[in-house]
């Protein structure tokens, strides 16, 4: 909110610091001052009043009181005396009816007759302009001036255009009103209005009606100062998309006690400036008077919470300067009466904050806590996450952080049904209509973007995805992606090698790969190439997928290169990972290598051959290494040649070549049990 | 043959030998199976026992002598050859090294790890929580009432047809943790948060926050100050200056903003600190009694501080990154720099 430096100065007894110094003091003790700008012979201070202090500090008096407290100075209240005309009685002109006191806890009307409507004096106009308001005429300007001064929104009606009775009620469906901004608003039961017997004359706490507004011919006026329910005003303001200086203040809440001072102040100014006669009395609906709250303050607790000892004398002085009433009820206990305008002060801690900030939080020393030495718990998930990230980085993958969202277009490309996705109620745009149900779509976007600049791309991401079943479930996933210009099937094996080495380093042994099968739960979604994808399995369950992305997806995304991906359930990985690692003694006896080449029908899986070799060889086979796959010239049509190194070694002895030959023969026999397989000799 | 003469001749030849090949020939000539010395030994048979002993001993001495000569000469020749060879070998040390293609960790990962390590070393456990939250944990339990303008501070993404939202801060984890763990305790909670707001160079729809919470019998504002100061000092690896000023958060009372003297301009004023010399960096405060009550903790017995640091912001300051959106761009030209 914008404040006038000169205006604030008026309320301060004693010397006012320079604008720059003032800004610094307010920032350190009350609210951040965002800027100080010279305007004419005044300065505009843009003060970021904290939301909880809106009730008392959306006003020059409120800020002045802060300054007085910070400077240990005194506040000088403005003159609010007016002379009431004994012959006129307010209640003879208007009466007030409030339909529901929950909507309006106070409604006051003051009547002033015989006003002369003209331009306001220059000093009022200038102050309004400094604070960002446009001068209109003396009556309206005075109501605005008093609002900026006290924080109480005030409205003036032309008495002669208003019926005798003012009613505060909810609008009826179908009612409408043309407001002072010349726009017509459709009203309904969510909106509170001020009405006379016939029609709404103002939107309560938001804006006045055009028909009952002040114009040049206005002679007699009704001044409204009221207190409307903050939720009702907020609801109405949102519904009508109309925010005003008044609605803003009511939304944040103000005390009904503010009415008296504001009415007096308005009357006093109008009498002086617009020469009106003030009718006697205030027509005032105020069924439940607000009394100051009382809070006990324990000085020992104050010291314990701030970590700073402050003398009782100083505490009393600070509280007094902020207009709190105090009485000592014990050596370390003070009973504090809270001014009604301080809606933010409810408990002892609120008072401690007041004292802390006026003393200055910056004056509190830094002191390390004294606490029991407890070593932090190890976070297993983060431990493994750090490890996994390091392993993948060393394997050449770079980490990305993508958005947790997916767009409508992505949904279409992967053929996800809407029912399987979690939709946002208020997306920013179509780009984040859904929560991501897989890391893959955004990784593919990364591929597409980066192919403009790089020939080879290897990325990974660890992040949460959102699965919609009966309940929404968050699931942490790990995915990696690989492509390069002209990549072929070897991409699959490269990525498979990375997954293998990752799993090995995590201590997950027992890993195998099965042909990918579209699972019914993934319904129609299309991600994987049906022939070039695998399920990664360990310990009897599927932990993820590895494979090439479906060519249809690639076509729709307009990515020219083939792309390979692994997508693993991070939580399952975590369960399988183990730090336990047992040392395997190194055999002191020499190893021997025999090569074996075998001719098999195309489509035979390496794992089938390996299984046979292991069955035939038993525990003397230490390792098997596939070193060549060949088909084409010299190989019969429909056949493929695989060549292996088989490494033989025993723990307890040197194997004789006779022994090795025997085992090797057993392996060949085992392989040739399959009539379509032929070991080449 | 005269042994003395043999020795002299051998000495001469060894001396003259120019290379290892020649030396080898000399070795064969004198010490080989059919060499001169061998012949002397063969001829011993013809001599008397006494002579045999005498000549044999002498021949042995000569043999050892020649062997030593050859060995020494061989060593010398090898040394010379090596020197000669080394003189011819060379590489260009100024040529670029061969690159090992490792990948890169994301800058937010790097900063998050560092922050976690600093707090772990001060006894804080690292805890995590869900990204989708209920209204209760994200707002109500944190003393942020419904239909209250205070809620406007947190622009929120809501899920369709469900009373769920994307957490706007990591503070809900305070409640979740306090429900299951009793003070004294110290935790930090790093995590992804979301805000429904227009994006620009310093705002994005998602960002990372680090929540901190320390509860005990006597934890004070002074303690908060010391812990935060220590953290910032270690993170920026330099002496830093902070200031505490009033702030407002419904879940803390008192509440404050922690400003760090601008690490770029050292307080002189620059574009990063918008010429104020200060960076608003870690909002925090003393946990509000209503928050403790919501989590089932008696505020009469326990007190403590809580704070929320922006990890993206720390990373931006550390690496002088000017646009927060780069973190979520997946652009390798950016990522490869870390």
Quote the percentage of chain B above a pLDDT of 70: 99
Q: Do B262 and B331 fall within a single domain?
A: yes
**Whole-number pLDDT of residue A17:** 96
* Cα separation of the two ends of chain A: 92
Asked if the domains at A2-75 and A293-360 fall in one CATH topology, the answer is yes
Spatial neighbors of A488 by CB under 8 A, at least 6 apart, are A562
Domain ranges (residues) in chain A: 2-75, 84-285, 293-360, 380-576, 592-680
B105 touches chain A (CB under 8 A): yes
User: Would you say residue B102 lies in a domain?
Assistant: no
Spatial neighbors of B256 by CB under 8 A, at least 6 apart, are A361, B221, B244, B245, B246, B247, B283, B284, B285
Q: Which residues on B lie below 8 Å from A35 (Cβ)?
A: none
What kind and span of H or E run contains A643? strand A639-648
- As a whole number of angstroms, the distance between CA B315 and CA B309 comes to 11
Whether B143 has a pLDDT exceeding 70, the answer reads yes
By the 8 A CB rule, do A649 and A579 touch? no
- Between chains, do A386 and B150 touch, taking CB under 8 Å as contact? no
Extract the residue ranges of chain A whose pLDDT is less than 70.
519-524, 579-581
Q: Which of residues 202-231 of B touch A (CB under 8 A)?
A: 205-206, 214, 216, 218-223, 225-227, 229-230
Q: Do B314 and B234 fall within a single domain?
A: yes
Looking from the CA of A280 toward its CB, the CA atoms found within 13 Å total: 6
Q: Do B216 and B252 fall within a single domain?
A: yes
- As a whole number of angstroms, the distance between CA A99 and CA A283 comes to 16
CA A386-A584-B102 angle, 5° bins: 35
- Between chains, do A381 and B128 touch, taking CB under 8 Å as contact? yes
By the 8 A CB rule, do B282 and B258 touch? yes
SS3 A662: helix
Strand ranges (E), chain B: 125-126, 132-134, 164-166, 185-194, 206-216, 242-246, 252-261, 278-280, 284-287, 303-310
CB pairs below 8 Å between A and B: how many?
230
Domain boundary among B37, B60, B88: B88
Tokens at residue A85, please?
A: 């005309």
**Whole-number pLDDT of residue A429:** 87
**Whole-number pLDDT of residue A262:** 96
User: Would you say residue B283 lies in a domain?
Assistant: yes
- As a whole number of angstroms, the distance between CA A559 and CA A393 comes to 25
Residue A367, judged by CB atoms within 10 A of its CB (0-12, 13-18, 19+), counts as middle
Domain boundary among B88, B118, B136: B88
Three-class DSSP labels, A136-169: CCHHHHHHHHHHHHHCCCEEEEEHHHCCCEEEEE
Annotation: CATH topology of A293-360: Phenylalanyl-tRNA Synthetase; Chain B, domain 1 (3.30.56)
Residue in A347, A393, A427 closest to B103 by CB: A393
Q: What is the pLDDT of residues B36-48, one digit of tens each?
A: 888 888 888 888 8
The shortest C-alpha distance from B74 to chain A (Å) reads 37
Q: Which domain holds residue B61?
A: 3-88
SS3 A2: strand
By the 8 A CB rule, do A133 and A6 touch? no
Q: Phi first, then psi: what are they for A671, rounded to 5°?
A: -70, -35
Q: Do B215 and B257 fall within a single domain?
A: yes
Q: Which of A445-459, A474-488, B68-82, B181-195 has the lowest mean pLDDT?
A: B68-82
- Between chains, do A371 and B132 touch, taking CB under 8 Å as contact? no
The β-bridge partners of A642 are A598, A629
User: Would you say residue B227 lies in a domain?
Assistant: yes
Q: Do B188 and B322 fall within a single domain?
A: yes
* pTM for this predicted structure: 0.85
Burial readout B250-282 (b: 16 or more C-beta within 10 A, e: otherwise): bbbbbbbbbbbbbbeeeeeeeeebeeebbbbbb
- Between chains, do B149 and A424 touch, taking CB under 8 Å as contact? no
Using alpha carbons, list the distances in angstroms from residue A90 to A86, A204, A473. Answer: 10, 21, 65
Location of structure tokens 């090698």: A497
Annotation: CATH topology of A2-75: Phenylalanyl-tRNA Synthetase; Chain B, domain 1 (3.30.56)
To the nearest 10°, report the CA torsion of B236, B238, B241, B245. 20
By the 8 A CB rule, do A354 and A322 touch? yes
Averaged pLDDT, B222-228: 97
What kind and span of H or E run contains A657? helix A657-672
- Between chains, do A399 and B162 touch, taking CB under 8 Å as contact? no
Give me Rg for the CA atoms of chain B: 42
Spatial neighbors of A444 by CB under 8 A, at least 6 apart, are A481, A549, A553, A557, A559, A563
- As a whole number of angstroms, the distance between CA A494 and CA A519 comes to 25
- As a whole number of angstroms, the distance between CA A50 and CA B70 comes to 97
Q: Total structural domains in chain B?
A: 2
Helices and strands, counts by H and E, chain A:
21, 34
- For residue A454, the chain B residue with the least C-alpha distance is B332
Q: Do B112 and B65 fall within a single domain?
A: no
- As a whole number of angstroms, the distance between CA A21 and CA A139 comes to 35
Location of structure tokens 């005194």: A74
The shortest C-alpha distance from B250 to chain A (Å) reads 9
**Whole-number pLDDT of residue A522:** 53
User: Would you say residue B96 lies in a domain?
Assistant: no
Using alpha carbons, list the distances in angstroms from residue A519 to A528, A552, A572, B171, B192. Answer: 12, 19, 18, 38, 31
Looking from the CA of A67 toward its CB, the CA atoms found within 13 Å total: 29
Q: Do B183 and B299 fall within a single domain?
A: yes
**Whole-number pLDDT of residue A402:** 98
Q: Do B163 and B299 fall within a single domain?
A: yes
- Going A281 to A285 to A288 to A290, the CA torsion angle's sign is negative
**Whole-number pLDDT of residue A515:** 85
Q: Do B78 and B112 fall within a single domain?
A: no
Chain centroid, CA A648 distance in Å: 62
CATH number at residue B287: 3.30.930.10
To the nearest 10°, report the CA torsion of A353, A355, A358, A360. -70
Q: Do B194 and B273 fall within a single domain?
A: yes
Q: Under CATH, domain A592-680 is a member of which superfamily?
A: Ferrodoxin-fold anticodon-binding domain (3.30.70.380)
Looking from the CA of A393 toward its CB, the CA atoms found within 13 Å total: 18
- Between chains, do B132 and A450 touch, taking CB under 8 Å as contact? no
| CATH class for the domain made up of A84-285 | alpha beta
Q: Do B48 and B151 fall within a single domain?
A: no
**Whole-number pLDDT of residue A520:** 59
User: Would you say residue B99 lies in a domain?
Assistant: no
Pick the CATH number of A380-576 from 3.30.870.10, 1.10.645.10, 3.40.50.2000, 3.30.930.10: 3.30.930.10
Q: Which residues on B lie below 8 Å from A406 (Cβ)?
A: none
Q: Do B197 and B231 fall within a single domain?
A: yes
Tokens at residue A385, please?
A: 């996450």
Using alpha carbons, list the distances in angstroms from residue A62 to A11, A147, A532. Answer: 10, 12, 72
Give me Rg for the CA atoms of chain A: 40
């Amino acid at each position: 909110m914008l404040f006038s430096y000169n205006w604030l100065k008026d309320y301060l007894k004693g010397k006012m610091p320079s604008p720059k110094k003032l800004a610094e003091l307010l920032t350190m003790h009350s609210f951040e001052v965002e800027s100080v700008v010279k305007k004419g012979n005044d300065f505009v201070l843009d003060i970021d009043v904290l939301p909880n202090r809106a009730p008392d500090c959306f006003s020059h008096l409120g800020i002045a009181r802060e300054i007085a407290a910070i400077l240990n100075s005194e506040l000088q209240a403005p003159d609010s005396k007016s002379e009431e005309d004994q012959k006129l009685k307010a209640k003879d002109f208007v009466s007030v009816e409030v339909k529901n006191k929950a909507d309006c806890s106070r409604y006051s009307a003051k009547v002033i007759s015989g006003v002369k409507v003209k331009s306001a004096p220059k000093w009022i106009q200038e102050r309004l302009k400094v604070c960002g308001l446009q001068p209109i005429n003396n009556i309206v300007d005075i109501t605005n001036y008093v609002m900026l001064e006290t924080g109480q929104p005030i409205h003036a009606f032309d008495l002669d255009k208003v019926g005798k009775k003012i009613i505060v009620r909810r609008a009826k469906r179908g009612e409408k009103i043309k407001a002072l901004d010349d726009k017509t608003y459709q009203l309904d039961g969510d909106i509170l209005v001020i009405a006379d017997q016939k029609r709404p004359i103002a939107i309560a706490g938001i804006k006045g009606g055009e028909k009952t507004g002040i114009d040049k011919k206005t002679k007699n006026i009704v001044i409204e100062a009221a207190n409307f329910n903050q939720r009702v005003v907020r609801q109405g303001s949102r519904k009508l998309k109309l925010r005003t200086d008044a609605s803003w203040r009511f939304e944040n809440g103000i005390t009904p006690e503010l009415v008296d001072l504001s009415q007096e102040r308005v009357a006093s100014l109008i009498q002086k400036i617009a020469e009106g006669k003030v009718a006697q009395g205030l027509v005032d609906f105020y069924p439940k008077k607000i009394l100051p709250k009382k809070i006990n303050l324990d000085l020992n607790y104050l010291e314990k919470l701030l970590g700073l000892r402050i003398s009782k004398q100083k505490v009393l002085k600070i509280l007094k300067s902020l207009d709190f009433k105090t009485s000592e009820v014990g050596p370390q206990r003070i009973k504090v009466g809270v001014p009604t305008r301080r809606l933010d002060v409810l408990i002892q801690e609120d008072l401690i904050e007041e004292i802390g900030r006026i003393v200055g939080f910056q004056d509190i020393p830094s002191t390390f806590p004294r606490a029991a030495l407890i070593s932090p718990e190890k976070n297993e998930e983060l431990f493994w996450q750090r490890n996994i990230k390091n392993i993948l980085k060393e394997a050449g993958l770079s980490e990305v952080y993508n958005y947790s969202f997916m767009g409508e277009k992505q949904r279409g490309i992967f053929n996800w049904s809407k029912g399987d996705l979690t939709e946002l109620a208020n997306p920013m745009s179509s780009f984040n209509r859904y929560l991501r149900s897989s890391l893959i779509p955004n990784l593919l976007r990364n591929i597409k973007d980066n192919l403009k600049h790089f020939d080879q791309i290897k990325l990974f991401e660890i992040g949460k995805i959102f699965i919609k079943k009966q309940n929404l479930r968050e699931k942490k996933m790990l995915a990696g992606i690989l492509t390069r210009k002209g990549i072929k099937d070897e991409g699959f094996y490269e990525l498979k090698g990375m997954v293998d080495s990752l799993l090995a380093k995590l201590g997950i042994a027992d890993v195998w790969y099965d042909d990918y099968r579209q699972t019914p739960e993934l319904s129609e979604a299309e991600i994987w190439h049906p022939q070039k994808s695998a399920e990664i399995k360990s310990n009897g369950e599927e932990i993820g997928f590895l494979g090439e992305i479906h060519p249809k997806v690639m076509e729709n995304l307009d990515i020219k290169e083939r792309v390979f991906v692994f997508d693993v359930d991070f939580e399952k990985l975590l369960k399988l990972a183990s730090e336990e690692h047992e040392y395997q003694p190194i055999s002191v006896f020499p190893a021997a290598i025999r090569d074996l080449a075998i001719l098999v029908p195309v489509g035979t899986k390496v794992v089938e051959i390996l299984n046979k070799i292991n069955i035939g060889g038993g525990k003397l086979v230490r390792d098997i290494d596939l070193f060549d796959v060949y088909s084409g010239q010299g190989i019969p049509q429909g056949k493929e040649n695989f060549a292996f190194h088989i490494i033989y070694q025993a723990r307890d002895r040197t194997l004789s070549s006779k022994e090795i030959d025997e085992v090797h023969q057993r392996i060949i026999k085992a392989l040739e049990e399959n009539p379509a397989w032929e070991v080449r000799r | 043959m005269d042994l003395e003469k043999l020795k002299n001749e051998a000495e001469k030849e060894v001396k003259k030998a120019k290379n290892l090949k020649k030396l080898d020939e000399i070795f064969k000539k004198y010490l080989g199976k059919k060499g001169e010395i061998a012949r002397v030994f063969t001829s011993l048979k013809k001599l008397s026992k006494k002579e045999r002993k005498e000549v044999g001993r002498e021949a042995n001495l000569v043999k050892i002598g020649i062997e030593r000569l050859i060995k020494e000469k061989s060593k010398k020749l090898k040394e010379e050859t090596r020197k000669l060879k080394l003189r011819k070998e060379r590489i260009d040390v100024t040529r670029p090294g061969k690159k090992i293609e490792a990948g890169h960790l994301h800058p937010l990962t790097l900063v998050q790890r560092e922050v976690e390590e600093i707090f772990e070393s001060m006894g804080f456990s690292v805890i995590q929580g869900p990204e989708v939250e209920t209204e209760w944990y994200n707002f109500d339990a944190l003393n942020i009432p419904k239909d209250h303008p205070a809620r406007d501070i947190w622009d929120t993404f809501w899920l369709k047809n469900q009373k769920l939202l994307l957490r706007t801060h990591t503070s809900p984890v305070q409640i979740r943790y306090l429900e299951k763990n009793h003070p004294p305790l110290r935790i930090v909670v790093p995590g992804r948060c979301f805000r429904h707001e227009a994006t620009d160079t310093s705002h994005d729809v998602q960002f990372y926050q680090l929540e901190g919470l320390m509860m005990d019998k006597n934890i004070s504002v002074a303690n908060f100050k010391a812990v935060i100061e220590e953290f910032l000092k270690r993170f920026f690896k330099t002496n830093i200056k902070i200031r505490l000023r009033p702030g407002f958060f419904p879940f803390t009372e008192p509440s404050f903003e922690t400003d760090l003297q601008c690490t770029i301009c050292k307080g002189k004023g620059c574009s990063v600190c918008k010429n104020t010399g200060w960076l608003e960096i870690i909002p925090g405060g003393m946990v509000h009694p209503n928050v403790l009550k919501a989590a089932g903790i008696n505020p009469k017995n326990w007190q403590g501080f809580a704070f929320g640091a922006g990890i993206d912001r720390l990373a931006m300051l550390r690496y002088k990154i000017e646009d927060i959106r780069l973190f979520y761009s997946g652009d390798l030209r950016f990522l490869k720099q870390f």
